[in-house]
């Protein structure tokens, strides 16, 4: 069974809180905050995997927000926070904000539209979902380009296309980490 739709809404709201906060504070502040949150997330993951009792309790408490596989794997939220830290460490602030928004908004839209569309799949992913993801990244690119970023629109759109391809590709790592880090690296290289 796919997770409930409001889990995807939580993904949008909680995931977007990182880049939206980044719009109002310095990269250095984001790095400090995300370092602390990443450290706490890793401590919590370590506690879960070393104590079955803690794992069962946390999985029960957060069940509405977790995928079934999260009971035995690192959660998507941990990957997202660590990827957020990586983005603010590795990329210009504007790029970090863009690619983290690509992830936080595009990924749930891809899941919602992909689940509803029958037909061809690559692994468990639908090309229709990835097309929806790309459409969202184009919309976000237009908004960011016209308001906050100094990067050319075409670099953001190519980064969005890369993010959509990464979302579709069955890479073993969680896409909450791969989407922003790979697309951010591409935008950074294009902007040189």
- Give the number of domains in the chain: 1
3, pLDDT greater than 70: no
175-179-185-191 Cα dihedral, nearest 10 degrees: 180
Considering only the C-alpha atoms of the chain, give the largest distance between any 2 of them, rounded to a whole number of Å: 51
Q: What percent of the chain has pLDDT over 90?
A: 70
SS (H, E, C) 68-80: HHHHCCCCHHHHH
pLDDT in tens, 82-123: 999 999 999 999 999 999 999 999 999 998 887 777 777 777
Q: Cα angle at 23 between 146 and 175, to 5 degrees?
A: 90
Flag whether pLDDT at 2 surpasses 50: no
Confidence of residue 153 (pLDDT cuts 50, 70, 90): very high
For residues 136-158, give the mean pLDDT: 93
The domain in which residue 82 lies consists of 5-190
Computed over every residue of the chain, the mean pLDDT equals: 91
pLDDT band at 4 (very low <50, low <70, confident <90, very high): low
Token pair belonging to 60: 């029960």
Q: How many Cβ atoms sit within 10 Å of the Cβ of residue 25?
A: 12
How much is the pTM?
A: 0.91
Give the number of residues written for the chain. 192
Q: State pLDDT tens for residues 24-55.
A: 999 999 999 999 999 999 999 999 999 999 99
Highest mean pLDDT among 68-77, 170-179, 181-190: 181-190
> What pLDDT band is residue 142 in, cutting at 50, 70 and 90?
very high
pLDDT surpasses 70 at 1: no
Number of H helices, E strands in the chain: 9, 0
Contact 99, 106 (CB under 8 A): no
Residue 159 pLDDT class (50, 70, 90 cuts): very high
Euclidean distance between CA atoms 24 and 115, whole angstroms: 35
């Amino acid at each position: 069974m796919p997770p409930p739709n409001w889990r995807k809404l939580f993904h949008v709201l909680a995931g977007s809180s990182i880049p939206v906060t980044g719009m109002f504070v310095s990269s250095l502040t984001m790095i400090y905050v995300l370092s602390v949150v990443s450290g706490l997330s890793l401590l919590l993951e370590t506690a879960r995997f070393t104590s079955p009792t803690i794992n069962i309790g946390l999985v029960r408490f957060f069940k509405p927000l977790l995928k079934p596989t999260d009971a035995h794997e690192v959660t998507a939220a941990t990957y997202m926070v660590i990827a957020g830290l990586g983005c603010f460490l590795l990329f210009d602030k504007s790029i970090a904000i863009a690619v983290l928004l690509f992830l936080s908004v595009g990924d749930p839209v891809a899941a919602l539209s992909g689940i509803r569309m029958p037909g061809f799949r690559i692994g468990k992913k639908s090309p229709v979902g990835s097309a929806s993801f790309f459409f969202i990244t184009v919309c976000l690119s237009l908004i960011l380009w016209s308001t906050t970023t100094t990067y050319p629109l075409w670099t953001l759109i190519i980064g969005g296309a890369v993010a959509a391809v990464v979302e579709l590709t069955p890479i073993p790592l969680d896409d909450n980490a791969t989407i922003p880090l790979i697309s951010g690296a591409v935008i950074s290289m294009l902007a040189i």
